[in-house]
Structure 1
Amino acid sequence: MKKTIFILIPFALMFKFSNAQTPISYTADNTNFENPERGFMHYSDTHTTSSYTPLSLSTLQSYRSQEKMSVIWRNFYMESFTNSAISSAYLDNIKQDLNIVRQAGFKVVMRFAYTSDGSSPYKDAPKSIVLQHISQLKQILQSNSDIILTLQSGFIGVWGEWYYSSYFGCACNGPLSAQNYKDRKEVLDSLLSVMPVTRMVLVRTPVQKATMYNLQMPKDTLTKNTAYNGSSLSRIGYYNDCFLVAADDYTYNDTTLEKPFTAGDSKYLAMGGETCGDNSTFTNCINAQKELARMHWCYLNVDYHKSVYDRWKSEGCYDVIANKLGYRYKLISGSFPTSVKQGQNLSFQLTMKNEGYARPINPRKAELVLRNTANQQEFKFDMNGNTDVRLWLPAPGSTAVLSINITIPQSLPQGQYELLLNLADPFPSLYNNPYYSIRLANTNTWESNSGYNKLSRNIQVDISTGIEENKDDFKLNLFPNPVKNSIHVSSNEPILSVDVFNIYGSLMMSKDIGKQESDVELSTLAQGVYILRFKINSTQFFRKISKE
């Protein structure tokens, strides 16, 4: 095999060293800890029929510290505005609530509604008012979209659940008309238009989505190729407010069609909500965990229904569900080189499992961080290429081997670097806030101050010297290295000669050898790094040494 010297600049050489991979195994952390955009959440609402009830920063902080939560569900009831614009005072109160959410490091599931009174006539608002209010809320929703986990479609009907409505039809009186669905779609499309394409809007049932967008269930479910592309269909998820109360969850008309459709859709969409009553046939731990996994549940309201959560605690699955709602990534093993040269590829593998029920709901960064161990300077590199991180990371319940290839810049300073994984929120306003970074379920890896996950490996970045070393079948041994005066070289074939270059490519000395081993005198060389070129038969071989 023949060696090639690439001249990049005068007297500059590129030297590539073979570098074996070293394995590492990681230890799982089975405790419950908070992670962004997932898990159990508390419910909170405010009404215009009484004085505004603001969110409390200290309450949210206690949810995080004591209950390991990162999500709050906030319903805004607007009883006083069914025939008028939303008041500026109410809009200001919404802004203040979202500011509290931000200060607490939370994300919010939002819903707007006009009534919680289930008596007829239903006290929701006409379409013209709904659309006017959505327009009024546009600026608030857009400027706070970074901390909005999902926006529930709301607005229509009692509780904003799209059922008991005086203006958009009520299935309690028979099938909805084509006009009813047209009006509902106009509201949903308006909500989608005021939110960034990176955010999802949730509907109450799959029939609503399928009917409004002419989908056939179950075949028109999202796929990996149609997910996360910014289309309306890729942004319409689900909130189920009666999970496990019956075989149909008071949500599905035809479970044989709608459940498979929802299960397929929710692989790539948000699924959240609450239970509404205990039914041991369906709420028992075995069935509950099966359905949570099947429908890829991301978050659940822990305040309703208490009887269901009491059952899960008594049957022993509550803590398991707390861990598995949404995503839960853990490292299993890794394989890393010990060094890399400037301008070359750093290649390694991570084996990771997603033990959760779902993927992350919103976009996410995946960065390799190289932190210089001497001065703590950090350098970051995207790990996932052009693949959406939600598809690059393991799917729910699966294990994947992630192969990472990153080009180390020629300008990266030489030195020892710690390797870390950063799964940060891509919004600039949240990117540096560790509350919004994903923590892996491994022991001794999480850095709470930075939001990074340690990969428990260091790597040496060496100066690029310009000579590229080939792999060979000859045995070529050198010792000692580092060297003070002379170095002993030996091979299983006669060594014809050796040339010594400095790191800039200048020839410092040459020696004819003509035998299988010899001592090479280097005492006249200054301290530093040198490249030795050996000629054996018709092949050239290169080795790096340090001169003390």
Structure 2
Amino acid sequence: LGDRLLYLPHVYGPSVHPMPYFSDPGFPENLPAVWDAHFGHLSARSLPWGIGEFGGKYQGQDQVWQDRFVRYLREKGVKVWFYWALNPNSGDTGGILEDDWKTPVWPKIRLLQSLMAAPSGQAFDFLPAEGEVVNPERGFAADSYYPDEPSLDAAAKLAEARAKGFEVRLIRRTYYLHAFAGQDSLPQSFLNTLAQDLQSAQGAGVKLILRFAYRPDENLQGSPTYCDPPKERILAHLAQIGPVLRAHLGVIAYLEAGLIGPWGEWHSASPEAALMDPLPGYNEGNQPPCGRQNYDRKLPNAKTLEIVQALLQEVPGRKVAVRYPMAKAKLLELAGGGSPGTYPSPSAFSPLVPLEAHGNTLKARLGAHNDCFLASENDFGTYYYDPGPQQELEKEYWSQDSRFTVMGGETCTPTPYVPPEEGDPAAYVYRQFQRFRFNNLNLNYHPGFLSWLAGQRFGPDTLLQALKRDLGYRLYLRRVEVDRIHLSPGQSLTLRLYLENQGFGSMYNPKGLELVFVREGDGLEVARSLGSGFHGPPPGEEAVYTYTAEAPSGPGTYALWLRIYDPDLPDDPRYSVRLASRLEYRDGRNHLALYVHVR
């Protein structure tokens, strides 16, 4: 009977059962003797035991005893245990989920993960990298404007940014097409320029954020008048641009919707073309031709939706960023059969959830850009004008939606708006970039704002340095495990990656993963695909990824390297992702500090 019984005691800490040994002067090193007396002695008698329940809130003495208990279980080689509890409403122990029932309590997760390592395998724990880790599709972005700059010299843009202390991997290239607004067809010379610009970007190893617009300025008194073209002309132009973009899709990070209004920023739309409607209750009065300072003609309508859908169709797999949270909500409402001319209902401000993320739907492919970030309480009309529930709803919508899509833009004031009650302006500004999950920021505008960032102390350095480090994704590989280190030729190897996204933003474009076995001695390389469509964890979150790869057929000792590559440019290491861990990175590969032996 003894061989068929498994002893599973329940063990809890001082907040659940305040026993005298928790207040002993030797705490917590007195605890192993207590546990040995209660159940640990069974190991010496080769009797099976595990832990039926343990847990607690992870703070104070409860954290101390749990840390010591988990170390005790590892020392004893215990593999059978149950943690109380998953759900957060578990009274005096709490759970491994926060009160929202969705967010993991990561310190508890990490504690329990240390009990899950495969006993016959090999693991390595990495320290996080320090400072900026330069990677594709993130960080500060250079900018360039056509026709002021008739062609893009991407390498010169990188050199110019480097001279200012920025290592950039993004250039925002805006094309002002006012010279062609009255023409049904774009000239071939412009299409050639566009293709050459995309080739220039690839030659420099950068990606482009593209925007097409017809109005390079507002229609102010005494200034030139610029008009939105009719919808049909815009659609015809997009049909010409599309093949050029698709031929160079790999160097496009994403597009900004543009096309409508001054600078393509989706306000002050021309009444004649009526590509957008006035906001409800807004009377734009008698407008001069093409509109002037009619800022609140910014509500998407059926024409807006048709233009956005056409733009998305021309760039399969790429996201398109819109200027306002209200605009995305209204586009989705219209696409679902909602009424035109009305402000989006509260239910339309429904952010992406994991099951919807990264799909080929309108909701998943529309991102965001804010070109007046921290300019005022409503970012100069980016959000609902008046403070209150609606404005906060729109801010939170953008914050949560950007977990799985793109957020970029620029500032437009010399200094940031900071609420009077905020005692630490630098900390407040950092939190706002973090809240809205910024992937990139224009390094040229506003110059005053950039100078302010450089002058603010934040942690050990400046706020500008913190943004260089944290804009976009920052994938920290905390731990790597394999299930075995001795393999037969062709045998399956299980690889487990513990990743944390420590950056502000998401990996909005998918990547491919490859495990590369590199043999010691002759350097023979054997690459095994781990799959495609990899986006990593959302910003501020952790995840564990498990993969299976076949061992090489030839005998030898092999180092393991991880390649996170761009599926559109798989052979160019400049577009591969470097992990934010202290590891060796070479030729687009991350050394996992593990070795396997094939015999």
TM-score of the superposed pair, with normalisation by structure 2 = 0.68
Q: In structure 1, which of residues 426, 429, 444 is the aligned counterpart of residue 567 of structure 2?
A: 426
Equivalents in 2 of 1:51, 1:418: separation in Å? 47
State the match for 2:173 in structure 1: 74
Equivalents in 2 of 1:389, 1:41: separation in Å? 24
Equivalents in 1 of 2:298, 2:507: separation in Å? 36
State the match for 2:539 in structure 1: 396
Amino acid at match of 1:67: F
Alignment RMSD (CA, Å): 2.4
Equivalents in 1 of 2:520, 2:589: separation in Å? 15
Q: In structure 2, which of residues 173, 196, 201 is the aligned counterpart of residue 101 of structure 1?
A: 201
**Aligned with 1:225: secondary structure?**
helix
**Aligned with 1:442: secondary structure?**
coil
State the match for 1:452 in structure 2: 589
Distance verdict in 2 for CA 1:317–1:114, change over 3 Å? same
Q: Relative contact order: is structure 1 or structure 2 higher (C-alpha 8 Å, sep ≥ 6)?
A: 1
1:272 aligns with 2:408: yes
Does structure 1 conserve the Cα–Cα contact (< 8 Å) formed by 2:242 and 2:315?
A: yes
Equivalents in 2 of 1:330, 1:454: separation in Å? 13
Task: State the 1:64 CA deviation.
Answer: 6.0
Q: In structure 2, which of residues 386, 394, 398 is the aligned counterpart of residue 262 of structure 1?
A: 398
Give the strand-richer structure, 1 or 2: 1
Task: State the 1:177 CA deviation.
Answer: 9.3
Amino acid at match of 1:77: Y
Q: Percent identity?
A: 29
State the match for 1:341 in structure 2: 488
Equivalents in 2 of 1:99, 1:61: separation in Å? 17
Task: String of CA shifts for 1:476-531, please: whole Å, max 9, x gaps.
Answer: xxxxxxxxxxxxxxxxxxxxxxxxxxxxxxxxxxxxxxxxxxxxxxxxxxxxxxxx
Q: Any unmatched runs of 5+ in structure 1?
A: 1-17, 463-548
Does structure 2 conserve the Cα–Cα contact (< 8 Å) formed by 1:181 and 1:212?
A: yes
Equivalents in 2 of 1:246, 1:368: separation in Å? 48
For 1:358-507, list aligned pairs within 5 A: 358-383=505-530, 388-390=533-535, 393-408=536-551, 412-427=553-568, 430-447=569-586, 450-462=587-599
**Aligned with 1:154: secondary structure?**
coil
**Aligned with 1:43: secondary structure?**
strand
- Greater shift after overlay, 340-349 or 261-270? 340-349
Does structure 1 conserve the Cα–Cα contact (< 8 Å) formed by 2:371 and 2:411?
A: yes
**Aligned with 2:330: secondary structure?**
helix
Q: In structure 2, which of residues 301, 312, 325 is the aligned counterpart of residue 181 of structure 1?
A: 301
Equivalents in 2 of 1:456, 1:51: separation in Å? 46
State the match for 1:52 in structure 2: 150
Equivalents in 2 of 1:139, 1:94: separation in Å? 11
Equivalents in 2 of 1:138, 1:372: separation in Å? 45
Distance verdict in 2 for CA 1:108–1:64, change over 3 Å? farther
Q: In structure 2, which of residues 462, 466, 469 is the aligned counterpart of residue 320 of structure 1?
A: 466
1:165 aligns with 2:264: no
Task: State the 1:217 CA deviation.
Answer: 4.1
Task: State the 1:354 CA deviation.
Answer: 1.4
State the match for 1:482 in structure 2: none
State the match for 2:311 in structure 1: 191
Does structure 1 conserve the Cα–Cα contact (< 8 Å) formed by 2:383 and 2:395?
A: yes
For 1:218-257, list aligned pairs within 5 A: 220-249=350-379, 250-253=381-384, 254-257=390-393
Amino acid at match of 1:229: G
Equivalents in 2 of 1:404, 1:53: separation in Å? 44
Does structure 1 conserve the Cα–Cα contact (< 8 Å) formed by 2:402 and 2:506?
A: no
Equivalents in 2 of 1:341, 1:100: separation in Å? 47
Distance verdict in 2 for CA 1:99–1:256, change over 3 Å? same
Task: String of CA shifts for 1:366-387, please: whole Å, max 9, x gaps.
Answer: 2211112233222222335x8x
Amino acid at match of 2:519: N
State the match for 2:499 in structure 1: 352
Equivalents in 2 of 1:354, 1:56: separation in Å? 29
Task: String of CA shifts for 1:165-217, please: whole Å, max 9, x gaps.
Answer: 21224557556598x61111111011011111x11011111211211221754
Equivalents in 2 of 1:366, 1:324: separation in Å? 23
**Aligned with 2:357: secondary structure?**
coil
Amino acid at match of 1:252: Y
Equivalents in 2 of 1:422, 1:64: separation in Å? 26
Distance verdict in 2 for CA 1:242–1:348, change over 3 Å? same
Amino acid at match of 2:354: K
Task: State the 1:144 CA deviation.
Answer: 1.3
Amino acid at match of 1:200: K
State the match for 2:60 in structure 1: none
Q: In structure 2, which of residues 162, 176, 186 is the aligned counterpart of residue 86 of structure 1?
A: 186
Task: String of CA shifts for 1:223-267, please: whole Å, max 9, x gaps.
Answer: 100111211211011111011111211201132221121112111
Task: State the 1:51 CA deviation.
Answer: 7.6
Task: String of CA shifts for 1:113-163, please: whole Å, max 9, x gaps.
Answer: 112221255433221221111111011111111110011111111101111
Amino acid at match of 1:133: H
Equivalents in 2 of 1:64, 1:423: separation in Å? 25
Equivalents in 2 of 1:61, 1:312: separation in Å? 22
Equivalents in 1 of 2:283, 2:192: separation in Å? 38
State the match for 1:492 in structure 2: none
1:145 aligns with 2:249: yes
1:115 aligns with 2:258: no
Equivalents in 2 of 1:206, 1:177: separation in Å? 12
Does structure 1 conserve the Cα–Cα contact (< 8 Å) formed by 2:561 and 2:591?
A: yes
Q: Any unmatched runs of 5+ in structure 2?
A: 1-117, 285-295, 334-343, 385-389, 457-461
Task: State the 1:309 CA deviation.
Answer: 1.8
Q: In structure 2, which of residues 410, 431, 450 is the aligned counterpart of residue 290 of structure 1?
A: 431
Equivalents in 1 of 2:537, 2:329: separation in Å? 28
Give the helix-richer structure, 1 or 2: 2
Distance verdict in 2 for CA 1:177–1:461, change over 3 Å? closer
Task: State the 1:420 CA deviation.
Answer: 0.5
Distance verdict in 2 for CA 1:372–1:63, change over 3 Å? farther
Q: Which has the larger Rg?
A: 1
- Greater shift after overlay, 33-42 or 341-350? 341-350
Equivalents in 1 of 2:351, 2:149: separation in Å? 44
- Greater shift after overlay, 132-141 or 398-407? 398-407
**Aligned with 2:433: secondary structure?**
helix
Does structure 1 conserve the Cα–Cα contact (< 8 Å) formed by 2:124 and 2:480?
A: yes
Distance verdict in 2 for CA 1:102–1:177, change over 3 Å? closer
Does structure 1 conserve the Cα–Cα contact (< 8 Å) formed by 2:126 and 2:583?
A: no
Does structure 2 conserve the Cα–Cα contact (< 8 Å) formed by 1:19 and 1:338?
A: no
Task: State the 1:422 CA deviation.
Answer: 0.5
Equivalents in 2 of 1:59, 1:433: separation in Å? 20
Task: String of CA shifts for 1:72-124, please: whole Å, max 9, x gaps.
Answer: 01011112111102111121111111111010000000001112221255433
Equivalents in 2 of 1:220, 1:56: separation in Å? 38
Equivalents in 2 of 1:83, 1:355: separation in Å? 48
